[in-house]
Amino acid sequence: MARFATLTFFKMKNFIVASTSTVFGGNYLDYLTEEMAELFKNTNEVIFIPYARPGGISHDEYTTKAAKAFEKIGKKLIGLHTFSNPVEAIKNAKGVFTGGGNTFVLVDALYRLELMQPLREAIFNGLPYMGTSAGSNICGTSMQTTNDMPIVYPPSFKTLGVIPFNLNPHYLDPNPESTHMGETRETRIAEFHTQNTVPVVGLREGSWLRVKGDEIKLKGKLEARVFEQGKAPYEVATGTIMNF
């Protein structure tokens, strides 16, 4: 019985999907320190997926930056780009963190290196995973509600699908004082729903989803905005279990 219980536990999904790495006025990952420490409590080493390369930063530079935040919780962060066999590295990983940047560049790299499927399987099998921004976008069924520019052409927009909806990280409310005539975020997501049926969760900065097994809980101080095809968008309070 004890062994069965352990195996069951190991198979439970266990991950964090965060809107942003950094809240205004804070330091990189600071607001997530407690959650990260809890998520990665059973390992001293976490693998970092640096491919989204914010601002075109190098994989090494990005890993150095993220490693400093992980040092604060006593964890060693190792860039996936330093492994000769990244697929094996993901299969053997005890914890994975994917940083933000450009989602098209990230998804293109994951397909090129044949990492999408192994990463998906690992997360379904209980791998402690954390994503911020682009690293969160890939947890949805597709990357089609990203805010990023299509600076490369990935072989597909399909992503990990470890949550049964799509995300819009850095969700931004319309500014009633704006004179800008470009589409608001809400209009863009409404356009998504003219072509797709999957719900979209707009995660404001400082919000994250904590996934344990099949429970997906909204955390942080703010509400999230939910968009379902054919319905008016609505707000959900922090602490809400997200199932629709």
| CB distance 105 to 151 below 8 Å | yes
Marked catalytic residue, from 136, 142, 148, 207: 148
Q: Is 55 helix (H, G, I), strand (E, B) or coil?
A: helix
Stretch that binds a second copy, among 79-87, 88-96, 193-201, 235-243 (CB under 8 A): 193-201
Residue 106: name the closest of 36, 177, 56 by CA: 56
Shortest reach from residue 25's CB to a second copy, in Å: 8
* Residue found by looking up tokens 């964090």 in the block: 16
Active site residue 148: yes
Per-residue binder mask for a second copy (CB under 8 A), 36-55, x = binder = -----------------xxx
Q: Report residue 186 as tokens.
A: 């809400």
Shortest reach from residue 93's CB to a second copy, in Å: 27
| CB distance 49 to 89 below 8 Å | no
Is residue 232 close enough to count as binding a second copy by CB under 8 A? Answer: no
Bridge partners for 224 per DSSP: 236
| CB distance 37 to 128 below 8 Å | no
Per-residue binder mask for a second copy (CB under 8 A), 2-41, x = binder = ------------------x-xxxx----------------
Active site residue 30: no
Active site residue 170: yes
Is residue 156 close enough to count as binding a second copy by CB under 8 A? Answer: yes
Nearer CB in complex with a second copy: 183/214: 183
Q: Considering just the CA atoms, what is the radius of gyration of the chain in Å?
A: 17
Is residue 85 close enough to count as binding a second copy by CB under 8 A? Answer: no
Q: What is the dihedral of CA 69, 75, 80, 85, to 10 degrees?
A: 180
233 φ/ψ angles, rounded to the nearest 5 degrees: -60, 150
Residue 65: name the closest of 17, 100, 104 by CA: 100
Q: Which of 195, 197, 239, 243 binds a second copy (CB under 8 A)?
A: 195
Binding residues among 100-129 for a second copy as defined by CB under 8 A: 101-102, 104-105
Q: Report residue 105 as tokens.
A: 């560049």
CB 204: neighbour CB atoms within 10 A?
A: 19
Q: Which of 71, 149, 235, 244 binds a second copy (CB under 8 A)?
A: 149
Which positions lie near a second copy, rule CB under 8 A?
Answer: 20, 22-25, 53-56, 101-102, 104-105, 143-153, 156-157, 169-170, 172, 179-183, 187-196, 205
Instruction: Please identify every residue annotated as catalytic.
Output: 133, 148, 170
